[in-house]
Amino acid sequence: MAGLKWDVKKIIDPTCYCSYAKLLRVTAICLRFFNNARLPVELRRMSRGLTAVEIEEAEAVWIRQIQANAYGKTELGNLRRKELNEFCPYLDEREILRIGGRLRRANSPVETKPPMLLPHGDEVVKMIIRHVHQRQLRAGVNQTLAASRQRCWITKGRSAVKNVVRQCGICRRSTGRLYEPKMGELPAERVTPTGPFQYVGIDFAGPILARIGMTRHESGVVQRTLANERIEWKFITERAPWCGGYWERLVQSVKVSLMKFLGRSRANPEELRTMLCEIEARINDQPLTMVSDRADDEIALTLAHFLIGRELSSLPDRDRHC
């Protein structure tokens, strides 16, 4: 890149790190050392912890390096390649290549600013996709792709995300398909025309074992409350989710996320509530439509956009809300 004076990959090998966050922290520590070496002692930064600005600068160094390796010189005249014409790329104030458009001068929040343009084959880009996949609680291809495009546009993004998700060991263990016998007939409640809310299905998605102290006990609060309210249980067939229909599909989203989160471990009630809140945010961040492969299309809307105007997993723009 024009502002890149050294090759960061010759100093830091990204394949030696298991996560994108650790790679950025190591890079930020190296940048602090380089900057301190050029400053007098009284001006050096000696604090133990890293700041958000240092992490952002470390990320910018890697983004510039990735773009330099993929696209060469950054003068706009040399960027008019066939594969880049549709993106109308431009350099921002940090010399990072971004997707152009008519709204690039708008004072928009972070999640709607023009995303950074990244190639699909770089190892660091795969780490970014893996990081987004983990932040989305091991979500599927469509949601991982939509979340990654909040900040970066990866060429051939769908196939790149699909390859990373397929290599996720936790997803392969939790979503592997067993032998599926032929389904039986649907119950009468599913095939009989009825009015709205004449039949209401509820699934408590349990029981979920929680750890409270060292002893094991069962709580009968739910059963006592139902008996006092004259409510009687009517269970669907065990291990027959097709009897529940749509609500069972939603419950599956929660159960699969819990399975990826917990594995065989047991959480205490506070940890369980925290996990369920994160899972709730992930489900409400699912795109309602197919994520487009065109750079000039609008971002995919989610349920959270109708609730708070942005995705629940994204943070407000620091520059606009400070």
Structure tokens at 98: 């971004």
**CB of 149 within 8 A of CB of 113?**
no
Per-residue pLDDT, 204: 60
In whole angstroms, give the CA distance from residue 298 to residue 285.
16
The count of residues in the chain is 322
Average pLDDT over residues 236-262: 78
Query: Where is average pLDDT lowest: 42-56, 212-226, 250-264?
Result: 212-226
> Please, which residues have CB within 8 angstroms of residue 299's CB and are 6 or more apart in sequence?
111, 112, 146, 149, 150
Tokens of 70: 């993929």
Decide: 201 and 240 in contact? Cβ < 8 Å: no
* Residue of 248, 243, 171, 266 whose CA lies nearest to 205: 248
The answer to pTM > 0.75 is no
pLDDT in tens, 2-51: 444 668 888 899 999 999 999 999 999 999 998 888 888 888 888 888 89
pLDDT tens string 50-74: 899 999 999 999 999 998 888 875 4
User: In sequence order, what DSSP letters do the residues of 190-224 get, joined into one string?
Assistant: HHS---TTSS-------------SSS-----HHHH
Token output for 206? 């349990």
Helix pair angle (20-37, 123-135), 10° resolution:
120
pLDDT in tens, 279-319: 888 888 888 888 877 776 777 888 888 888 888 877 766 55
Domain ranges of the chain: 8-174
pLDDT value at position 218?
Answer: 64
Q: How much is the mean pLDDT over the chain?
A: 80
